[in-house]
Amino acid sequence: MYGLLMGMWPPVGVDMKYMFHTTQAGISYASPFGSSGYLVGSLAGFLYKYINRQLVLIIGTTIMAIFAAMAPFCTHLWLLYGCHVLAWVGAGVWESSNTVWAIELWADNSAPVLQLSYMLYGLGGILGPLIVRPYLTGDISHTSTTTMGSVFQTTTDISVEDINYSIDRRAKLRTPFMIGGAIGPILLLIMFVVKRYKVPEIVTQEADPDVVDNTVDNIEKKVSDNCLADNPRIISNNKLSKIKILIIILLAMSLSFYTACEVCYSINAVNYFQYIPIHMSAQRATDLTMATTGASTVARLVSTYISSKLGPEIMLTYHLGLGMSAIWSTYFVFGEKYIKLTNKITSVLCFSAAFKL
């Protein structure tokens, strides 16, 4: 659901510009506002000592779905910014929690699971634009015609800006955003009601039953002790040594730079393709970004298998040279190998990633 909702926003940037009678820069400012919400949501890991993590995830994803779906219903630009902040609070909650949850469940075998999880995020990134595509209008003050048999495209500009305001784009976009908002939180709520998550017995046998959800302090210490026995290279989780702080800082900086690169393309590509000299239509620009997302998603599926055979150091090395599809998950696998990721450490890493915008 996270990938689906985040994937629906970039294709509608040009339509939003005309809906709110603003500039493309005015719409782009929604991203820094969203980043501020992500900063807040990413700190959820510090609450799990007091609040059930699964319940927080349900609340977070519900907030994300509701306020992401409300974007076409906003009547003023500042309301859009507000919805973006709240939607990304939910996104921060989700992204800072699901990774450490997967690691807790799968322990030493978590690498393929994390890659698979991010592959599913990629599928959402394809499904989101696919849902919204039929409802796009784009900038219709430009028309493109292609001469039959020619590899060159001749573009004719029709400078009739007022035509862009003659279409009720808001009414068209409400349908796909409501569809996207309805998917996701229901599944988590059903899972919580039908089969509430319990921490695996291997890490709860010495946990304090009074600790909510048994996921913090006692569990983190127990998991760390077990891993230290199996892998002496892992740095002790019971103290903040200089090398541990250094690794956390380096991981945080790396994630921040990586997400900056990814977000710069994913958010702006559809708008860019509509305003370069060939003036692609909104649908064609969306198709192109779906194709690149599809290629990245396939690469993540391949990485699901590769991660079971190769260590995170090797994967990071060749991905930095050949592509960035699996880097996010691999950074967390790398961190888990050396410092043992906890709810709080993962929150710090995701907090740093919010500075991408």
Q: Residue 249 carries which side chain, given as an amino acid letter?
A: I
Q: Could you tell me if 96 and 42 are in contact, meaning their C-beta atoms sit under 8 angstroms apart?
A: yes
Residue 272 has a pLDDT of: 87
User: Rounded distance, CA 308 to CA 305, Å?
Assistant: 5
- From 252, 213, 258, 300, select the one nearest 3 (Cα to Cα): 300
User: How much is the pLDDT for 144?
Assistant: 46
Alpha carbons 39 and 86: distance in angstroms, whole number: 11
For residue 275, count other CB atoms closer than 10 A to its CB: 14
Distance between CA 315 and CA 114 in Å, rounded?
Answer: 14
Question: What is the predicted pLDDT for the residue at 179?
Answer: 83
- Decide if 10 contacts 269 (C-beta within 8 A): yes
- Model-level pTM? 0.77
Which structure tokens are listed for 70?
């409300």
pLDDT in the model for residue 82: 92
Nearest to 210 by CA among 102, 49, 90: 49
Question: What type of residue is 259?
Answer: T
Tens digit of each residue's pLDDT, the chain (357 residues):
677 878 888 888 888 988 888 888 888 888 889 888 998 988 888 888 888 888 888 888 888 888 888 888 988 999 999 999 999 998 888 888 888 888 888 877 888 888 888 888 888 888 888 999 899 888 877 654 444 344 344 444 444 456 777 778 888 888 888 887 777 666 667 766 777 766 665 444 444 343 444 444 454 444 444 444 445 445 555 556 788 888 889 898 888 888 888 888 888 888 888 888 888 888 888 898 888 888 888 888 888 888 888 888 888 887 766 677 788 888 888 888 888 888 888 888 888 887 764
Q: Taking the domain 2-139+169-201+210-356, which CATH number applies?
A: 1.20.1250.20
Q: What tokens does 251 get? A: 């991981």
Following CA atoms 164, 167, 171, 174 in sequence, which dihedral angle do they give, to the nearest 10 degrees? -30
Measured between its terminal Cα atoms, the distance across the chain in Å is 22
Structure tokens at 158: 């029709």
- Identify the pLDDT of residue 204: 44
- Among candidate residues 297, 101, 87, 69, the one with its CA nearest the CA of residue 188: 101
| Interatomic CA distance for residues 239 and 254, integer angstroms | 23
pLDDT computed for residue 201 by the predictor: 58
- 330 within 8 A of 307, measured Cβ to Cβ: yes
Sign of the C-alpha dihedral, residues 325, 328, 334, 340?
negative
CA torsion sign for 178, 184, 185, 191 is positive
Query: What's the pLDDT at 150?
Result: 41
What is the 3-state composition of the chain as percent helix, strand, coil, each rounded to the nearest 5?
A: 75, 5, 25
Give 49-83 as a DSSP string: TTS-HHHHHHHHHHHHHHHHHTGGG--SHHHHHHH
Nearest Cα to Cα of residue 313 among 292, 330, 290? 330
Contact (CB, 8 A) for 234 and 227: yes
- DSSP string across 86-147: HHHHHHHHHHHHHHHHHHHHHGGGHHHHHHHHHHHHHHHHHHHHHHHGGG----TTEEEEE-
Q: What is the pLDDT of residue 238?
A: 53
Per-position DSSP letters for 180-233, written without gaps between them: HHHSSHHHHHHHHHHS-----HHHHTTS-TTSGGG-STHHHHHHHHHHHHH-TT
pLDDT at 81: 93
Please give the structure tokens belonging to residue 172: 């068209």
Please, are residues 11 and 136 in contact by the beta-carbon 8 Å criterion? yes
Q: What SS3 state is found at 146? A: strand
